[in-house]
């Protein structure tokens, strides 16, 4: 059970309710429909709690779980204990997400706009927004409805849609790294664009997003960005992308819809990463990536080639010592 | 045109004025000197606006631009539309920077020292400084003239020159990672040096600079540091260097004047990177780098060797599958 | 001598006192016991100051130092000037740390809890804690005794032990990157765990630690974490570990006691890094690492294999151009 000092559980849901919510089929081995009081991980769940199974690494935990119910794919049903009620679903993690949201709806702070936030009088904040302590929102910034701006985040030169969440410590819209190199003193290039953040975007803690230099920097609808990410000026990120922690995307590059960029990846400037491309963690992208391709390595290669390269090197060092 | 909610354009400049400012030669194909009202990118500029061309990737945009005037190198003059007035300049980006600064002079906030900044009474802040909301400046810190300290930046144990810009969320001068390893509990080594930041330095958002352990950490005049960079204790960075986002420089290393360090590079401790060296993005530097050399890879090699290495590997994986 | 604007030196210690404190043997070449007034690096120390020698890179500085006394290992004794009093110690850096702590005890701010910190009324702060300006501590957070929470740090959903130091700008306990991917809009998975930080932990500036998704995220006793590090949800870090700047550890991975992880390393999710393992800077860990092993490279190999791989590649590019 989640620590009640931090989380409030809305317990007491029926399995029927949970199955309907998630579009799952109930497989009930032994007896009456139980009431489910909470969600819990496989190895901690009790008979009145529901868990989920979605990663084969945890198959042993599934086999011995005490969870009263478990959400899993039909293919895994045989690995659950005979006494566990199953909610069969082809997307068990997504189904779990819905269930957990039902038990633990998002909590709102007592004061929606902290008196310790510093909001410029010319900024516009939409309805039902939360602005936490120490957040600094600059002149002219526009924020849509039901956004949450984390503590000590700093936002300027930005137009933000609805349902956007900015985590603590983010820096959005401060001048990017724009200058003409000169031994007598680099010459600053005025940064005249904005940061446009579309609806339902999440931006992780201490992430930095530079505004455009002339065009705008754009983060597309439903894209999720993790902590400590750097987004350079003029970058365009499409819809539904996933950008994992500590990624750096250099100026003027384009990331098309639904691309997934693994942790610590670096993307050089003025490139295009195609729709649905997947970039493995720590890769270095120095050329355009076609849509749907999976890349790995620095410099990155299509993943099969990179795997062959790694295998080749491993063989060579074995030979080398024979 | 830049969004007037964020930027104020001082329009109405003559081409003569712009040519003089930048030391450019005017080549005017058709008729009287126009008045220029704004700067804009090639693909958005209108007939009363000036643009620039400096990256061959955008040659197609140059060919069809509607910009009334364009700054470019003489070698590119033939690629501009016949109707565009040209400002010929061997450093078009630097010339554009000057022009853009003229149209968009830096805007100052209404209150130069935010009442929501927290400045220790023993700190000294020079004339005409801007200190933004939530910035925390510790005891004894000295800041020169015309500096700008961003929102929620935290500065301690630092002596800062004139015309320095510290972006939001920076942490400067907090104890570095100094300890003697001990299984019974690592023993903290008091960090007794300072951070010395010379004139005209820029330090990006959420960047961290540790003070010296005994000697000082020094950032030389005119050096620009991007976002999310880590500078360890005792590091000495020379003049006019460029340190791109997410670089990490370990303790006691020296970066000589005018070196350029690409994004996500890691530099091990106690090394020297020579004057004017150039380190490619994501490189790992584990040895001294001679002056003027260009390095790439992890571990880094001189760039030609690294390119050969990459080419060799690509050939091998092809052979491997034949 | 450390800048008195920032540091207060408690000078005037006898060599006897310092030798006893550190368990060192005094070797005094010429005359009476001197009084030591300060610590200083080898190249700056004066005859009334004590220095230390622990890195062979600085042997030349040792040979010509003016330090009145020097802490070093017996094996290095012959490299010191004949006139230098020696404190012989097998762990000279640790001994120096103790001596420097004696001369420079940690300074406390005038106000232990800054009136500009924002502490939720339901949070519990132990005795003798320092909470700096702009720190934001959320509902239910528990902090032990003698902790120091840096300026503008943001802490929520966390239980923190005694003698913990959180540096400025840290973000601890804000929802991790938990969601089920869906083209119609990623579905947020409620993050229901906490961050548990045990005693004597240090957490560097602008580092981010996500709370558990269900289980907790745990940082073990005496572990030191550097700046700009990312710790994902459910990660368990053991006791006495060292995590250098800009490391990223993905969700649900385990780092056992006394492991050392170099700068910019990436660790994939759901892995185990064994007790006392050492991971070289910039490595990419994609598989479990056995206890005590030293790994390097991306993907990481045992260090000897990685060294062979690098040597092999260097030979190949030489051959290639012959």
Q: pLDDT by residue (tens digit) across A195-221?
A: 999 999 999 999 999 999 989 999 999
Residues A109-117 have a mean pLDDT of 92
* Chains touching A, CB cut-off 8 Å, 3+ pairs: B, C
Q: How far is C151 from chain B (nearest CA, A)?
A: 7
Q: Which residues of chain C have pLDDT under 50?
A: none
Q: Which helix (H) or strand (E) holds A187?
A: strand A187-188
Pick the closest to residue C195 from C150, C167, C163, C154 (CA basis): C154
Long-range CB contacts (within 8 A, 24+) of A184-188: A185/B200, A185/B222, A185/B240, A186/B222, A186/B224, A186/B240, A186/B242, A187/B94, A187/B97, A187/B98, A187/B101, A188/B97, A188/B101, A188/B202
Q: What share of chain A is helix, strand, coil (3-state, %, to 5)?
A: 15, 25, 55
To which H or E segment does residue A208 belong? strand A208-209
Q: Which residues of B touch C258 (CB under 8 A)?
A: 183
Query: In this complex, do B134 and A139 lie within 8 Å of one another by their Cβ atoms?
Result: no
Q: Is A233 a catalytic residue?
A: yes
CA distance A49 to A40: 6
**Would you put residue C234 in left (φ > 0), alpha (ψ -120 to 50) or beta?**
left
Count residue pairs from B and C with Cβ separation < 8 A: 158
Q: For residue A316, what pLDDT band results from cuts at 50, 70 and 90? A: confident
Task: Give the Cβ contact number of residue B146 at 10 Å.
Answer: 16
Cβ-nearest to A206 among C177, C188, C206: C206
- pLDDT the model gives residue A183: 84
Selected for mutation to probe chain B from C205, C258, C301 (highest B CB count within 10 Å) is C205
What contacts 24+ positions apart, CB below 8 Å, involve B108-116? B114/A118, B114/B151, B116/A118
B101·A270 Cβ contact <8 A: no
How is residue B252 written in tokens? 């006691």
Of C228, C264, C316, the CB nearest to B208: C228
Cβ neighbours around C287 below 10 Å, total: 11
Q: Residue B177: which residues within 8 A CB-CB, separation 6 or more?
A: B210, B232, B233, B251, C204, C224, C226, C227, C244, C245
Cβ contact, residue pair A2, C208, below 8 Å: no
- The yes-or-no verdict on residue B31 having pLDDT over 80 is no
The answer to whether the peptide bond before residue B241 is cis (omega within 30 degrees of 0) is: no
Return the half-sphere exposure (C-beta side, CA atoms, 13 A cut-off) of residue B62.
Answer: 19
Cβ proximity of B45 and B68 under 8 Å: yes
Other beta carbons less than 10 A from residue B14's beta carbon: 12
Q: Please, what is the angle between helix A303-321 and helix B303-321, to 10°?
A: 90
pLDDT at position B74 is 97
Contact B134 A152 (CB under 8 A): yes
Beta strand B171-172 pairing with B208-209: parallel
Euclidean distance between CA atoms A288 and A13, whole angstroms: 49
Write the burial class of residue A41 (CB in 10 Å: 0-12 exposed, 13-18 middle, 19+ buried). buried
Q: Specify the pLDDT at position C108.
A: 85
The pLDDT tens digits for B32-72 are 667 999 999 999 999 999 999 999 999 999 999 999 999 99
Q: Report helix, strand or coil for C317.
A: helix
From CA C154, how far away is CA C139, in angstroms rounded?
12
Q: Angle at Cα B209 formed by Cα B204 and Cα B214, nearest 5°?
A: 160
Question: Do residues C140 and C121 touch, judged by C-beta distance below 8 A?
Answer: no
User: Is the pLDDT at B322 greater than 60, yes or no?
Assistant: no
Q: Which residues of C touch A151 (CB under 8 A)?
A: 118, 136, 154
> Do the beta carbons of residue C309 and residue C297 sit within 8 Å?
yes
- The pair of structure tokens assigned to B32 is 């009287």
The token duo for B145 is: 């003239």
Contact call for residues C136 and A132 (beta carbons, < 8 A): yes
CA distance C27 to chain B (A): 23
Using CA atoms, how far apart are residues C223 and C221, in angstroms rounded to an integer?
6
Q: What does the DSSP 8-state code read for residue B216?
A: -
Q: What is the pTM of this model?
A: 0.96
Residue of chain B minimizing CA distance to A196: B3
Cβ count near B293 (within 10 Å): 15
The complex's ipTM works out to 0.95
What values do phi and psi take at C247, rounded to 5? -70, 150
Set out the domains of chain C in order of their start, with CATH numbers.
13-103 (3.40.1390.10), 108-322 (2.160.10.10)
Structure tokens belonging to residue C187: 């579905």
- Percent of chain B at pLDDT > 70 equals 98
Percent of chain A past pLDDT 70, that is, above it, reads: 98
pLDDT at B112 over 80: yes
Contact between residue C230 and residue A243 where contact means Cβ atoms under 8 Å apart: no
Task: Name the active-site residue from C157, C200, C233, C270.
Answer: C233
**Nearest-CA distance from C28 to chain B in Å?**
25
Residue range B168-181: average pLDDT? 95
Q: What is chain B's alpha carbon radius of gyration, rounded to the nearest angstrom?
A: 24
C278-279 sheet: strands from edge to edge: C130-131, C148-149, C165-166, C202-203, C224-225, C242-243, C260-261, C278-279, C294-296, C301-302
| pLDDT tens digits for range B183-203 | 889 999 999 999 999 999 999
Q: What is the pLDDT of residues A154-201, one digit of tens each?
A: 999 999 999 999 999 999 999 989 999 888 899 999 999 999 999 999
pLDDT of residue C318: 79
CB atoms within 10 A of CB A300: 24
């Amino acid at each position: 059970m989640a620590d009640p000092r931090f989380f409030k559980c809305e317990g007491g849901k029926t399995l029927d309710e949970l199955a309907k919510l998630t579009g799952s089929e109930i497989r009930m081995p032994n007896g009456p429909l139980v009431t489910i009081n909470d969600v819990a991980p496989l190895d901690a769940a009790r008979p009145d709690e529901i868990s989920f199974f979605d990663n084969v690494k945890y198959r042993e935990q599934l086999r011995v779980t005490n969870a009263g119910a478990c959400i899993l794919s039909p293919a895994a049903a045989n690995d659950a204990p005979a006494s566990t009620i199953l909610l069969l679903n082809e997307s068990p993690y997504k189904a779990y997400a819905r269930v957990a949201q039902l038990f633990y709806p998002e909590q709102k702070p007592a004061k929606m706009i902290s008196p310790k936030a510093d909001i410029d009088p010319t900024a516009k904040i939409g309805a039902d927004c939360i602005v936490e302590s120490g957040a600094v929102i600059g002149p002219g910034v526009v924020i849509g409805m039901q956004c949450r701006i984390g503590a000590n985040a700093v936002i300027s030169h930005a137009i933000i849609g609805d349902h956007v969440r900015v985590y603590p410590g983010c820096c959005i819209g401060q001048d990017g790294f724009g200058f003409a190199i000169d031994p007598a003193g680099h010459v600053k290039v005025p940064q005249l664009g904005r940061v446009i953040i579309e609806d339902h975007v999440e931006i992780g803690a201490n992430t930095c997003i530079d505004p455009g230099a002339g065009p705008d920097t754009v983060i597309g609808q439903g894209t999720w960005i993790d902590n400590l990410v750097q987004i350079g000026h003029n970058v365009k990120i499409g819809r539904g992308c996933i950008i994992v922690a500590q990624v750096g995307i250099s100026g003027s590059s384009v990331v098309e819809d639904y691309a997934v960029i693994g942790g610590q990846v670096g993307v050089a400037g003025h490139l295009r990463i195609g729709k649905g491309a997947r970039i493995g963690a720590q890769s270095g992208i120095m050329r355009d990536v076609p849509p749907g391709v999976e890349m790995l390595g620095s410099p990155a290669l299509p993943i099969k080639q990179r795997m062959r390269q790694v295998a080749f090197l491993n063989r060579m060092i074995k030979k080398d010592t024979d």
